[in-house]
Every structure is written in structure tokens, then in C-alpha cells.
């Protein structure tokens, strides 16, 4: 699937808590909810959990993709992503771990540079357009 393909998800309340939802995305079934402290049942990740996970997933996949393209000896890539509001602005922080004893310092630096170009990060940094239809 290319980065330009259309992605879709179907989300519906499931009644298991005040905010719990069932999510179907690309044939995968997930559950989302708010934590108990926010009035939910803490039955699954909250919306920003999914957003930070998407950024981390894309980051790690982009690192791996680039290493494959270059036939570099990357053993393992991982990312931890946090999100918080600071003065009304969304702030994401990524910590990237790259393992590979045979990687050169230049290769490591390039992999970190490439990680910042993952498609999800580009979407977050762009000005996306969101349209809404009403189905009654």
C-alpha cells in the first residue's frame, strides 16, 4: 500500500463504558476508551494513545525501511513517544533506540534523520484538511 492510498476506520460506541468504542481499521478490531480518571472504563487506549502509537510505529517502520533500502546492518529499532499540551500546543517527544554494532556513526545519524521524515510525522507537521459529513 502506498502512502497515497486511502485509509479508513469505522468507530462505534460499544456501551461497555461511557466512552468505550469498537474500532475496525483495515480489518483489525481494536477497542478505545478513556481512562477511569476521565470518566471512561479504561478498557483500551485513549485517542492520544493511538496517535502517539501511530507516530512511534511509523518512525520505527521508516527506520527499518531505510535500513533495508541501504542494506545497512540495523539489528533493532524502537521508539518511545510521549504527548502533552504545553501552553495550548501539542508537544510530541520521541526517543529512538537503534541497535546494530556494525552501524557506522554516519549511518546512525542518517537513520535518526530519516526517522523525522516518516509519513505520520509529516502529516502532523502539515496543515491537514478535515471534512465532516452528517449522516442522520
Domain spans in the chain, listed from the N-terminal domain onward: 7-45, 46-128
Residue 86 pLDDT exceeds 50: yes
CATH superfamily of 46-128: K homology (KH) domain (3.30.300.20)
* pLDDT band at 136; cut points 50, 70, 90: confident
Can you tell me the distance from the alpha carbon of 55 to that of 4, in angstroms, rounded to the nearest whole number? Answer: 17
For 15-60, write each residue's pLDDT tens digit.
999 999 999 999 999 999 999 999 999 999 999 999 999 999 999 9
pTM: 0.92
Q: How far apart are CA 42 and CA 20, in angstroms?
A: 8
**CB 113 within 8 Å of CB 82:** no
Amino acid at each position: 500500500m502506498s502512502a497515497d492510498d486511502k485509509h479508513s476506520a469505522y468507530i462505534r460506541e460499544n456501551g461497555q463504558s461511557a466512552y468505550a468504542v469498537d474500532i475496525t481499521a483495515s480489518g483489525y478490531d481494536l477497542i478505545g476508551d478513556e481512562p477511569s480518571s476521565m470518566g471512561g472504563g479504561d478498557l483500551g487506549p485513549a485517542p492520544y494513545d493511538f496517535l502517539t502509537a501511530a507516530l512511534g510505529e511509523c518512525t520505527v517502520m521508516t527506520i527499518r525501511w531505510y535500513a533495508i533500502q541501504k542494506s545497512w546492518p540495523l539489528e533493532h529499532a524502537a521508539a518511545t513517544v510521549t504527548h502533552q499540551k504545553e501552553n495550548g500546543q501539542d508537544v510530541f517527544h520521541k526517543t529512538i533506540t537503534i541497535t546494530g554494532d556494525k552501524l557506522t556513526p554516519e549511518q546512525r545519524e542518517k537513520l535518526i534523520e530519516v526517522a523525522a521524515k516518516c509519513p505520520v510525522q509529516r502529516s502532523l507537521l502539515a496543515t491537514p484538511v478535515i471534512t465532516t459529513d452528517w449522516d442522520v
